[in-house]
């Protein structure tokens, strides 16, 4: 699996090329999505024009990337999904979570007007309540 990343305005476009099957590709691509989110980008478009086949690992990557992006207040959309992959997404009932596009300009415009939140550092929460100070 090969991929390229480009940033257009405030949208990261990840273009995938090759069969998306098990192995290190999924872990590596998850890390790339994590890195993108850490830069503050919250709009991600995955171009799957070069992906003829996807297995459960690839589907897992798409779902986990969508979840990670959503948890950060962002959006992840798919571009140029091949019919075989579309069938897999239909069978797994995942079309309700992914917005699909066949035209890159249309996909980019779909992000317009939606202001992505600025990335903020997460605070570590403690499970213990603060102790009250009692003065005598």
Query: Quick check: is 21 in a domain?
Result: yes
Number of domains in the chain: 1
Query: Quick check: is 128 in a domain?
Result: no
Query: Quick check: is 136 in a domain?
Result: no
What are the pLDDT digits (tens) for 47-85? 999 999 999 889 999 999 999 999 999 999 999 999 999
Residues 6+ apart with CB under 8 A from 3: 14, 15, 16, 17, 29, 32
**Given a cut of 90, is residue 126 above it in pLDDT?**
no
Query: Quick check: is 10 in a domain?
Result: yes
Range of the domain at 25: 2-111
Query: Quick check: is 69 in a domain?
Result: yes
CATH of residue 83: 3.30.750.24
Is 80 within 8 Å of 106 (Cβ atoms)?
A: no
**Look-up of token digits 């992006």:** 69
- The torsion angles phi and psi of 109, rounded to 5 degrees, stand at -65, -30
Query: Quick check: is 63 in a domain?
Result: yes
> Does the pTM of the predicted model rise above 0.75?
yes
What is the distance in angstroms between the CA of the first residue and the CA of the last residue of the chain?
68
Query: Quick check: is 117 in a domain?
Result: no
**Average pLDDT in the chain:** 84
**Given a cut of 60, is residue 122 above it in pLDDT?**
no
Query: Quick check: is 93 in a domain?
Result: yes
Rounded (10°) CA dihedral 109, 53, 95, 110? 0
User: Confidence band (pLDDT; 50, 70, 90) for 107?
Assistant: very high
């Amino acid at each position: 699996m090969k991929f390229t990343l480009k940033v257009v305005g405030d949208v990261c476009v990840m273009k995938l090329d090759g069969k998306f099957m098990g192995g290190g590709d999924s872990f590596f691509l998850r890390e790339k999505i994590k890195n993108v989110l850490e830069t503050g980008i919250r709009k991600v478009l995955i171009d799957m024009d070069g992906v003829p086949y996807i297995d459960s690992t690839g589907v897992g990557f798409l779902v986990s990337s969508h979840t990670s992006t959503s948890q950060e207040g962002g959006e992840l959309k798919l571009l140029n999904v091949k019919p075989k992959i579309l069938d897999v997404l239909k069978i797994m009932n995942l079309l309700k979570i992914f917005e699909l596009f066949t035209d890159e300009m249309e996909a980019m415009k779909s992000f317009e007007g939606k202001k992505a939140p600025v990335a903020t550092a997460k605070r570590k929460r403690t499970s213990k309540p603060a102790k009250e100070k009692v003065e005598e």
